[in-house]
Structure 1
Amino acid sequence: MQNLYQVSGAVIKPPQLTHSPAGISHLRFVLEHLSEQIEAGLPRRSYVRIVVVLSGGVATQWAKELNVGTAVHVSGFLNRIEDKNGIGKLVLHAQQLVKI
């Protein structure tokens, strides 16, 4: 089965670097995407705001490079998480991150 998602946009909240109990670095930020797409032959405005998580050794490097307003292209997979209130949301786990 496939689970691949790609999106470009801008970082809209300051990235947060954390470390798991196992010592794995995780960089979490919110990405906002605005565009116009064609659906059924008609233009449609597309607006996406999604949490992105980048894990591993590259997370520390990117923590120094990403700021609010930085434009990036992210590709990775979607995963569902639940917040402390039990509300589910999708998170994009980045496998590739490129500044644009």
Structure 2
Amino acid sequence: MNHVELTAGIAELSPLRYTPAGIPAINFILEHASEMLEAGVNRQVKLTIRAVAFGTLAEQAVKLPLSKSFRFTGFLINARTSKGVVFHLQALHPILQAEQVLNPI
């Protein structure tokens, strides 16, 4: 199964664009920081990942504030234009104060 759920802040948000088929699209750079338990030891985890949203989600995302944390869900694919992966977003939810990750960016 390819299902990803990530709490992250929006580091960069590109302008809304349209695919050749006329579908709204928007690119993101997401940043995550937290502390995870691995092999019995706490580990600082930081990552940056490229993401994209299409359709209604893209139109809504254009109004999102930078650096605020959200819970993103979606799936990963290989990037067509370069090495690495792209997180294709299917949903995003604001994070309530009680749900904040240990070290949000």
TM range (shorter): 0.7 to 0.9
Which residue identity lines up with residue 57 of structure 2 in the other structure?
Answer: V
- Listed one character per residue, the Cα deviations across residues 38-65 of structure 1 (whole Å, up to 9, x for unaligned) are 011111111110111111122112212x
Higher strand share: 1
Aligned to 1:92: 87
Q: Percent identity?
A: 33
Question: What is the aligned residue count?
Answer: 95
Q: In the alignment, is the contact (CA less than 8 A) between 2:29 and 2:51 conserved in 1?
A: yes
Q: TM-score, normalised by structure 1?
A: 0.87
Paired with 1:54 and 1:94, the residues of 2 have a C-alpha distance of 5
Match of 2:67 in 1: 69
- CA distance in 2 between partners of 1:56 and 1:29 (Å): 14
> Given that residues 57 and 91 in structure 2 are in contact (C-alpha distance below 8 angstroms), is that contact kept between their aligned partners in structure 1?
no
Unaligned segments of structure 2, at least 5 residues: 96-105
In the alignment, what sits opposite 1:45? 44
Q: Within 5 A, what are the aligned runs for 1:7-22?
A: 7-22=6-21
What SS does structure 2 have at the residue aligned with 1:58?
helix
Deviation at 1:92, TM superposition (A): 0.5
**Contact 2:16-2:59 within 8 A present in 1 as well:** yes
TM norm structure 2? 0.83
Give the aligned CA root-mean-square deviation in angstroms.
1.3
